[in-house]
A and B are shown apart, each in its own frame.
Chain A
Amino acid sequence: MSTPHPGPPPQGGRDNLPDARGRYGRYGGKFIPETLMAAVEELTAAFEAAQHDDGFRREFDELSRTFSGRPTPVYRADRLSAQAGGARIWLKREDLCHTGAHKINNALGQVLLARRMGKLRIIAETGAGQHGVAVATVCAKFGLTCEVYMGVEDMTRQAINVYKMRLLGATVTPVETGSKTLKDATNEAIRDWVTNVRSTHYVIGSAVGPHPYPVMVREFQSVIGREARAQMLVETGRLPTVVVACVGGGSNAIGIFAPFYDDPVRLIGVEAAGRGLNSGAHAASIVGGRPGVLHGSFSYLLQDDDGQVVATHSISAGLDYPGVGPEHAFLHDAHRAEYVSVTDEQALAAFHQTSRLEGIIPALESSHAIAYAMPLAGALAAEEIVLVNLSGRGDKDLDIVRQASGG
């Protein structure tokens, strides 16, 4: 492994990240059309006000508990650990959240914020459908109009989630442009927002987009890391040696990483290597890309020599995105977190192992984190602890796995 000990925390922890301009070092920013600028400024002000408002926090905490099902447990995965043959593997069970993934944390936070701003129409993009389902769920709870943009390619891959969103009363709008996946759904959602910005809040589903989205998503998701840190201290009497999470746009990873910034804990983000980094068919933005601007922020990006965003591939729709949140770009360059990648095949193997050995069917996204954690744990001593963010459950992936495994 490259760095046995973590580097220094980023400039005194996360309080200084981002700066007033929404920058994480050179990354982040607000690269958006002027039509959206006022809405993004309004959102920044509303978010800052909400963060200092006890009423807002109380409502978020209470609904996290009674609606989303928090706190989620940490679980010692003995048989996975035995199979790995080294450090103990623990799982943070975000798969047990209402709607089946960590996405509900951010959906709840942002919809509460939209209500405060008086925006009663909610739009979202979705890839795997987990974010779309989470947003549709919270909108149903509050009686808000909800429209979800989804690439037609993903609508086929994740048909059950499309049906769920419709059951929940949301409109699912197919996106036929470009690669017909998450990137293009995001483009369409932004175009809708540009057109309906006065009445509409755009709930971005990951720690990407223009400032303040990356920081806002981090703050709503960092409930994962706060809980996990306290739970590990209770359960094991110590902090984990390593925290591992998959990285699509980076929201579940930043959520579990951020509360550990000031601790001597290695942080590892696992990107999707698809059919292999050299195949061209992957979605590993940090490992395989270089910095550029997409969807409002400057960060690592999969692009060609001419600055055109390239098509990506991952067996998991939730990781199939050419960009990544700017805070991860910063953590990478600052050597505070390490970024690695795992292929479709390795993720599938981890999916099966976790199902058989632990009785937990993980999302294909989360299977990437497990696939990396297994050999990592194997290389560490028995007293070390590897904490994996199990970001979601695999129900949505059964058709894909069945096809891929020829079953």
Chain B
Amino acid sequence: MSRIAAMFARLRAERQLAIIAYLTAGYPRLDVTPSLVEAAARSGADAIELGIPFSDPLADGRTIQAASQVALQAGMTVARALQTATSARTRTDVPLLFMTYLNPILAFGLERFCRAASDAGVDGLIVPDLPPGESADLRRAADACQIDLVFFVAPTSTEAGIDEACQAATGFIYCIAVTGVTGARAELDPGLLPLIETVRRHTSLPLVVGFGISRPEHVAALQGKADGVIVASALLDAIARSPDDPASRVREFLTGLRPPA
């Protein structure tokens, strides 16, 4: 069983929601990410999504744009992100996923990237500008290295689109919580729970909710409904408030996120 599947199996048995923490590789400093991964894993993150920054992140709001810019300026590259993952893997056993746009992967080479990611101990891949209909080549490359390839459903998805994502995805389905780009939101979208119910009819894969998740109330509201949440912008916002001690901000934020059992 893959690390991702094993994690969801364990959490399902415990009736717990998976908390997946997103960190932009190289933010707030080039070499700090492995220690933040470790801090996150020790503070309740069940899996880590590592963002490889791209110059034109068109599905992302201000927070991730800014973090990507900082990381790129610090010199983050695909090769360095792979080293970052390798180093993070020596510090934790939780599932690691890469999230990046298609072009950096294309430039690196799809097969070469998947092999290197697998060698680095990465378990899954999330590419927001790659819909299922364009994914055949990456699917092949990912399968050859036993890397899960996650696809998205959105509040605007058609039934056919939901079905296509569910057929194409491995690992889990990424349910976009809002009609919009990434960024912390105060409220959950009222359309989210109906979306989750619809997607359940199409797949037995775990459903993970992301975009806008920022508060313990959001996590509590999704307990028993979804299988996991991704926290990204809110975590980066916390780091941005005191970039000199990002590990403490990661610990505080994540321990405050899970409602007491």
Contacts and interface: CB of A to CB of B under 8 A. Distances in A.
Nearest to B61: A191
Given A35-B154, A35-B179, A194-B179, A292 B103 contact: yes
A187 B61 CA distance: 11
A198 B107 contact: no
B231 to A, nearest CB: 19
Interface stretch (B28-36, B115-123, B124-132): B124-132
Given A293-B129, A305-B107, A195 B161 contact: no
B181 A308 contact: no
Given A38-B157, A41-B158, A197-B179, A33 B151 contact: no
B181 A194 contact: yes
A295 interface: yes
Contacts of B134: 29-31
B58 interface: yes
B165 A34 contact: yes
A184 B69 CA distance: 13
Interface string A167-196: 000000000011000011001001100110
B104 A34 contact: no
A31 B131 contact: yes
Interface centre among B57, B104, B157, B165 (most CB of A within 10 A): B104
Contact of A308 (B55, B133, B151, B157): B55
Interface in B120-152: 128-131, 133-134, 151-152
A108 interface: no
Contact of B106 (A30, A191, A292): A292
A294 B55 CA distance: 10
Interface string B42-75: 0000000000001111110100010001001000
Contacts of A239: none
A250 B213 CA distance: 40
A30 B131 CA distance: 8
Contacts of A37: 131, 154, 156-158, 161
B105 to A, nearest CB: 7
Contacts of B107: 292, 303, 305-307
B181 A306 contact: no
Given A194-B179, A197-B156, A307-B78, A293 B106 contact: yes
Nearest to B128: A33
Interface in A175-229: 177-178, 183-184, 187, 190-191, 194-195, 197-198
Contact of B152 (A33, A187, A294, A295): A33
A304 to B, nearest CB: 8
B97 interface: no
B56 A32 contact: no
B188 interface: no
Contact of B103 (A33, A187, A194, A301): A301
Given A38-B156, A194-B179, 13 more contacts: A30-B131, A30-B134, A31-B131, A34-B157, A34-B176, A35-B152, A35-B154, A35-B179, A187-B58, A190-B58, A293-B101, A307-B106, A308-B72
Interface of A: 21, 29-39, 41, 177-178, 183-184, 187, 190-191, 194-195, 197-198, 292-296, 301, 303, 305-309
Interface of B: 54-59, 61, 65, 69, 72, 77-79, 101-108, 128-131, 133-134, 151-158, 161, 165, 176, 179-181
6 contacts: A29-B134, A34-B161, A34-B165, A37-B158, A39-B156, A183-B56
